[in-house]
């Protein structure tokens, strides 16, 4: 399966509040675009923090026309023909290979400090394209993902799922006590737990495993609402949702709105099942 372009995923995350809606009311598009343009983002490959209204609007109509494929950056006519002089290209790639975590900005500053290039003479976008074409590019960060603030209850089952993680008890695994995490997905309209499982971590792989089981049992939801934790920000999860047509929506960490049903499920499980299991374990060891 081909990997979805990371920049397309970034653009989709910016469009979140618009593309997650079934329809926009008349006159609603431009205010939404202005709101998104006013936000700050960690834009891959650049130090800029804002995106222009015309750019966001173009992304929106490209998505409407072609879906996620419309958000893939178009190939440049001079692709593969960097305007950077060959010796400087070699210095750029050597700096990146020496420390793959170096950002484009750090590489430019390093070459300026070493006297390899004059100050302000090396284009960061040109460096980014060179690294990308050479297979050395590493995204500087993900979007400051838009949050869904609209409070609502889904009308139909399968419209909205909520995801969250609860810290579970310690269990003995291969002779060692390990912390567990309960990863759950619940349907908003029916309050059905699509899938819930204890994992030994709360990584993207754990979340994706629970999502896979939920999809196999309950089908594909229209929206998946999660918090802004690292596991949910992973490109792999965004890619899965993009391929399946699931609108991945991010809310603020620890925000109570929308996740009350899932939190009640976790609280019930903690107060009843886990308490009973602890008492049984205590009596069994007594």
The pLDDT tens digits for 183-234 are 999 998 888 999 999 999 889 899 999 999 999 999 999 888 888 777 887 8
Burial of residue 159, with CB atoms counted within 10 A of its CB: 0-12 exposed, 13-18 middle, 19 or more buried? middle
Q: What is the per-residue pLDDT for 66? A: 84
Q: What is the per-residue pLDDT for 127? A: 86
Domain ranges of the chain: 6-71, 86-133, 160-285
Sheet holding 160-173, edge to edge: 193-199, 176-187, 160-173, 223-227, 247-251
The CB-side HSE value for 280 (13 A sphere, CA atoms) comes to: 6
Q: Read out DSSP for 101-119?
A: T--HHHHHHHHHHTTSS-T
The pLDDT of residue 165 is above 70: yes
- Taking the CA atoms of residue 33, residue 35, residue 39 and residue 44 in that order, the dihedral angle to the nearest 10 degrees is -10
pLDDT tens figures, 101-154: 788 888 888 888 778 888 888 888 888 888 877 777 644 444 434 444 444 556
Report the predicted TM-score, pTM, of the whole model to 2 decimal places: 0.55
CATH code for residues 160-285: 3.30.420.10
pLDDT tens figures, 55-99: 999 998 888 888 888 888 876 545 556 678 888 888 888 888 877
Partners of 227 in the β-ladder:
251
Q: What is the per-residue pLDDT for 6? A: 82
Q: Which range is least confidently modeled, 126-130, 175-179, 267-271, 273-277?
A: 273-277
Q: What is the per-residue pLDDT for 79? A: 53
Q: What is the per-residue pLDDT for 284? A: 52
């Amino acid at each position: 399966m081909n990997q979805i372009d990371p920049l397309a995923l970034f653009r989709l995350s910016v469009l979140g509040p618009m593309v997650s809606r079934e329809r926009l009311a008349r006159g609603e598009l431009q205010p939404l675009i202005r709101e998104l343009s006013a936000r700050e983002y960690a834009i891959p490959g650049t130090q800029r923090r804002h995106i222009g209204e015309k750019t966001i609007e173009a992304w929106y109509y490209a998505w409407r026309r072609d879906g996620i494929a419309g958000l893939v950056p178009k190939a440049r006519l001079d692709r593969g023909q960097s305007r950077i002089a060959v010796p400087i290209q070699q210095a750029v790639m050597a700096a990146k290979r020496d420390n793959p975590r170096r950002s484009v900005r750090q590489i430019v500053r390093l070459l300026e400090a070493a006297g390899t290039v004059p100050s302000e003479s090396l284009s960061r976008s040109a460096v980014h394209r060179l690294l990308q074409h050479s297979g050395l590019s590493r995204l500087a960060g993900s979007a400051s993902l838009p949050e869904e603030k609209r409070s609502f209850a889904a009308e139909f089952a399968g419209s909205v799922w909520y995801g969250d993680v609860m810290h579970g008890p310690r269990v003995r695994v291969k002779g060692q006590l390990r912390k567990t995490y309960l990863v759950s997905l619940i349907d908003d309209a029916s309050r059905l737990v699509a899938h819930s499982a204890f994992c030994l971590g709360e990584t993207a792989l754990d979340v994706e495993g629970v999502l896979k089981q939920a999809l196999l049992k309950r089908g594909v939801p229209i929206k998946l609402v999660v918090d802004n934790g690292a596991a949910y920000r992973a490109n792999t999860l965004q890619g899965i949702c993009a391929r399946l047509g699931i609108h991945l929506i991010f809310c603020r960490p620890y925000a109570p709105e929308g996740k009350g049903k899932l939190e009640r499920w976790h609280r019930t499980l903690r107060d009843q099942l886990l308490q009973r299991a602890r008492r049984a374990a205590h009596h069994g060891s007594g």
